[in-house]
Amino acid sequence: MFSKKVSSFFIILTSSLFMIQPAKKIKPWHGTLVATFITPAKIFLFSDGRVINRDTKEILNDFSKVHTLTKSAGMLTLGEYMPTLKKDIQKNCELMKIEYVNDVAAITEQILKQIWENSRQVYEDAKKYNLDGITIFVFVTGFDKHKKPHLYYFDSRSETPFAIKEHPLFTTGNEIEIAAMSSGSGHTEDPVGILSNYITKNLVDKPLEEVLNKAFDFTKDSIGKNNDKIGGETFYASIDSNGNIMNRK
């Protein structure tokens, strides 16, 4: 049984080596809640299913932001939708025979930057959107070849958009690390705080996976009461240090 201690929150490759699909617009779907729970041997990824189209105001409730990339790495996406991102990463990982998360993260950085610049040109030509006002945030997490977990993140708002950053794990003796973001994180919403409090109160003689599922749904419902961009179905995946993956709604 895990303790109640919880915490909230390379290789160099030439971009010309990367195969990406023809430039497509970043889709105007936005609004979400994502979370990853990291233990030394297993990683859990969650998202809600709601997105809203900025142009048409259409609402979808079955739009997953949980992506398994290889047997050792997964991804969570937040903000505007890059329709080719997952396939581009998987294609390049397969081409270069890459599996482990540190190498997957390095590829992800280059592909994000390339899609971003391609999309910028598409938008500027159309004179429709200013990409400087668009937010895209990506978590990549998983295990290296030594079965050690890692958490990387990429932010379009960084000084260098999508520059790779790694969040240190298990530095304070905790056994569960939590990283989460919602469309109002840092302003009116604290998903990490809600998740952490729920887990601390309920992780007593209950299976960890059950508690994490209930913690995410509780957080989704709590934040969704005041934010119509969050809701819909719950999507879930897990990756363990032996390369076993499970995906489900």
Q: Is the model's pLDDT at 14 over the cut of 70?
A: no
Helix (H) or strand (E) segment spanning residue 36 = strand 33-38
The mean predicted confidence, pLDDT, of the chain is 85
Q: Which domains does the chain have, with CATH numbers?
A: 6-10+28-248 (3.60.20.10)
Token duo for residue 193: 């705080």
| Tokens standing for residue 176 | 């569960």
Q: Helix %, strand %, coil % for the chain, to 5?
A: 30, 30, 40
107-137 tens-digit pLDDT: 999 999 998 888 776 555 545 555 566 788 9
Is residue 11's pLDDT more than 50? Answer: no
Tokens of 144: 């290296």
Query: Quick check: 142 and 170 in contact, CB under 8 A?
Result: no
The pLDDT value given to residue 47 = 97
In the chain, the percentage of residues whose pLDDT exceeds 70 is 81
> Model confidence at 145, in pLDDT bands (50, 70, 90)?
very high
> 208-224 and 191-202 helices cross at what angle (nearest 10)?
140
pTM for the model stands at 0.87
pLDDT digits 0-9 by tens, 61-115: 999 999 999 999 999 999 888 888 999 999 999 999 999 999 999 999 999 999 8
Q: What angle do CA 94, 239, 163 make, to 5 degrees?
A: 60
pLDDT of residue 70: 97
Contact (CB, 8 A) for 100 and 142: yes
Determine the average pLDDT of the residues in 38-46.
Answer: 98
Helix (H, G, I), strand (E, B) or coil at 50: coil
- The predicted structure's pLDDT at residue 16: 37
| pLDDT digits 0-9 by tens, 209-237 | 999 999 999 999 999 999 888 999 999 99
Amino acid at 34: V
